[in-house]
Amino acid sequence: MELLRTVAALRAYSDAARSEGRRVALVPTMGALHAGHLSLVAEARRRADRVVVSIFVNPTQFAPHEDLASYPRDLEGDLAQCRAAGVDAVFAPAPAELYPAGAQTWVEVPELALPLCGQSRPHFFRGVATVVTKLLVAARPHVAVFGEKDFQQLQVIRRLARDLLLDVEIVGVAIAREADGLARSSRNVYLDAPMRAEALALSRALDAAAAAVAGGERTGSAVLEAARKELRAAPHADVDYAELRDPETLAAIDRVAGPVLLALAVRFPAPRAASGVVRLIDNRVLRPTPSPEVSR
């Protein structure tokens, strides 16, 4: 496995693979790797001959009050996991490699970035869109793989790839979960035992909403109430949002007439985090079963 530190080295690696007729996959990460990231690596391996994982804690997607300084970092551990997973190369640059002195160019996808996480983190998607564009331009992969836990981010990236005519396939991979249903996240390490137990309210909320839809409920407010009831059962849960959205456009939905995204973001007290709070996100695309009349 090669460790690449510069954009020039990344480009040279990708160009060499392409010249040999190899298909290249990129898995962008911020490190602190866990089983969820490794599921992305596995999907990349299925789709390509060479798998590159980027490890870069992107400073431009953090606001001044957020956890950039304390975001979990373990490069040696990450490299060991990548090596064991059969990764071919890791790109782990210094910030100046991706943001050279005087950099002033940004990539924005304003409509898709506006709702959900964009409401409480208005800076976030500009930083994500910019760094992912830089990574795609530098690595020139045939395919780039992202997790569906960050569903809005995935849609932003799909849109920018289309709009900027980037010759890359954007692939989403289903959410990886712990055995008890908690979505895997690098920020889970901030949770102590009581708050981790409360955090299961997110997956229970998704289950409750899915059960309501499966039972024939189609009114958006009723589906949301089923989810919010589970979130209220967690005494320390501070709900940022619980919303129904169109899975592609992220437009608000008030009736479940087809596939609909239920997106959640909830904050919990977290003494291990520098801010004292951890914000977790989760989602599910709810798919109503057509009635027998419709099926006929």
- Listed by start position, the domains of the chain span 2-173, 187-295
Q: What share of the chain is helix, strand, coil (3-state, %, to 5)?
A: 45, 20, 35
Q: Is 141 helix (H, G, I), strand (E, B) or coil?
A: coil
**pLDDT confidence bin for 294, thresholds 50/70/90:** very low
Mean pLDDT of 209-234: 98
Residue 125, amino acid: F
Beta bridge partners of 238: 267
What whole-number distance in Å separates Cα of residue 77 and Cα of residue 175? 22
Q: How confident is the model at residue 296 (pLDDT cuts 50, 70, 90)?
A: very low
What pLDDT shows up at residue 177? 97
pTM of the model: 0.94
- Mean pLDDT (whole number) for 32-45: 97
Which H or E element spans position 2?
A: strand 2-4
The residue whose two tokens read 């055995």 is: 179
Which DSSP symbol is given to 189? Answer: G
Task: Write b or e for each residue in 209-243: b if 16 or more Cβ atoms lie within 10 A of its Cβ, otherwise e.
Answer: bbebbeeebeebeebbbbbbebbeebeebebbebb
Give per-residue pLDDT as tens, 162-205: 999 999 999 999 999 999 999 999 999 999 999 999 999 999 99
> What's the pLDDT tens digit per position in 97-116?
999 999 999 999 999 999 99
CA distance 263 to 252: 11
Q: Which of 73, 58, 41, 27 is nearest to 129 (CA)?
A: 58
pLDDT at 18 > cutoff 80: yes
Give the max Cα distance, the chain. 63
Whole-number average pLDDT of the chain: 96
Alpha-helical regions (H) of the chain: 7-19, 35-47, 75-84, 95-98, 110-113, 117-120, 124-139, 151-163, 193-199, 201-214, 220-232, 292-295
Round to whole Å and give the CA distance between 214 and 225.
15
**Which whole number is the average pLDDT over 213-238?**
98
Enzyme catalytic residues: 37
Q: What is the pLDDT of residue 102?
A: 96
- Once rounded to an integer, what is the mean pLDDT over residues 48-56? 98
**% of the chain beyond a pLDDT of 70:** 98
Q: Strands of 238-245's sheet, edge to edge?
A: 238-245, 260-269, 277-286
Q: How far is CA 44 from CA 22, 28, 72, 142, 154, in A?
A: 13, 11, 24, 10, 16
pLDDT at 292: 53
Q: What is the mean pLDDT of residues 126-143?
A: 98
Say yes or no to pLDDT of 238 above 70.
yes
Rounded to 5°, angle at Cα 159 from 108 and 263: 90
Quickly name the fold that domain 2-173 has: Rossmann fold (3.40.50)
* DSSP 8-state assignment for residue 264: E
Tokens read off for 267: 């904050």
CA distances from residue 65 to 94, 99, 149, 195 in whole angstroms, order as listed: 22, 21, 23, 22
At the second CATH level, the architecture of 187-295 is: 2-Layer Sandwich (3.30)
Q: Given pLDDT bands bounded at 50, 70 and 90, which one contains residue 81?
A: very high
Judged against a pLDDT cut of 70, whether residue 293 lies above it is answered with no
